[in-house]
Amino acid sequence: MRCRVRPLLPDRHDALAIPLNRYTTSPDTRPSGWAGWRSARASAIRFVGASSERRYQDGPANSLKFTRLDAYAMKFITIAVSLAALLTCIPIKAQTPEQWTKWGTLVHGGFGSLIAYGIRVGDDALKRLNAQKREVIVEYFDNPAAPCACVADGIAIAVTASLGQRSLRLSDSNAPSHLLARVIFTHKETKQTAIYELPWTALAQMREINSRLPPEQRYAAVMKPDTDMLYSVTQPR
């Protein structure tokens, strides 16, 4: 019995041009969110389909021989493209409260007001330093009396910093007793810094938000208070 492989791409020579052209454009023109993920995944599937079609033209035996390999290749390419799309194709300015809540839950295990607090601080630091995500180093000074250093996780999400990149550091020194935390942001290229001091009094407000609001409403609540109530900033020259 002759095996027939159905072509998935009319012009297989354009298979690679689709993802390459789409994801080498500027961040403002890249597809964002799940739309970008679906587009990238579809391109990967079309590429694997085109590869199968070429092998079939070399003979039915080759098509049968590589059928299982095609399945593994499709899984691998789909996973790789999915991660790339999520990490590089979604600009910070495009995030919604729902997306921040999902990301905070994935990173921290839950979305409390302190995660949203960190996102607000981190986003403000990027604007003040005229930096993009992954372009700053964060040094976090914790107050040991605080229930946790949850704010650091929110900052890490906002600026895309991590221990693995060596762009997120938890200082051995503690923040002063009147502060919830002190955070120093340093631009990798310009070396310009911004020092944020988060008052201890803000902790009571964060607890109140957690007690009366569900996780999906906490982000919006933390974005409302005046800046002076949440942090002070100094930028040494």
> From the CB of residue 125, how many other CB atoms can be counted at a distance below 10 Å?
26
pLDDT score at 116 = 95
Of 57-61, 181-185, 222-226, which gets the smallest average pLDDT? 57-61
pLDDT score at 236 = 85
DSSP string for 51-106: HHHHHHHT-HHHHHHTHHHHHHHHHHHHHHHHHHHHHHS--GGG--HHHHHHHHHH
Number of H helices, E strands in the chain: 10, 5
Confidence of residue 76 (pLDDT cuts 50, 70, 90): very low
Average pLDDT over residues 84-97: 54
Average pLDDT over residues 216-234: 95
pLDDT higher for 165 or 16? 165
pLDDT score at 106 = 87
Nearest to 151 by CA among 186, 182, 187, 194: 182
pTM beyond 0.75: the answer is: no
Q: What is the pLDDT of residues 163-200, one digit of tens each?
A: 999 999 999 999 999 999 999 999 999 999 999 999 99
Confidence of residue 223 (pLDDT cuts 50, 70, 90): very high
- 3-state class of 178 per DSSP? coil
**Strands lying side by side in the sheet with 193-199:** 168-170, 136-142, 179-187, 193-199, 232-234
CATH topology of domain 95-234: 60s Ribosomal Protein L30; Chain: A; (3.30.1330)
Nearest to 118 by CA among 88, 155, 82, 84: 155
pLDDT score at 145 = 95
Above pLDDT 90, what percent of the chain?
Answer: 54
pLDDT score at 201 = 96
Q: What is the pLDDT of residues 105-151, one digit of tens each?
A: 888 889 999 999 999 999 999 999 999 999 999 999 999 999 999 99
pLDDT score at 43 = 53
pLDDT score at 95 = 79
pLDDT score at 38 = 54
The two three-digit tokens of residue 110, written as one number: 């839950």
pLDDT score at 72 = 47
What lies within 8 Å, CB to CB, of 1 at 6+ separation is: none
- Mean pLDDT, all residues of the chain: 75
- Residue 37 Cα to chain centre, angstroms: 13
| Rounded-to-integer distance, Cα 159 and Cα 129, Å | 12
pLDDT at 41 over 90: no
pLDDT at 45 over 60: no
Nearest to 176 by CA among 154, 151, 198: 198
Where are the domains positioned within the chain? 12-90, 95-234
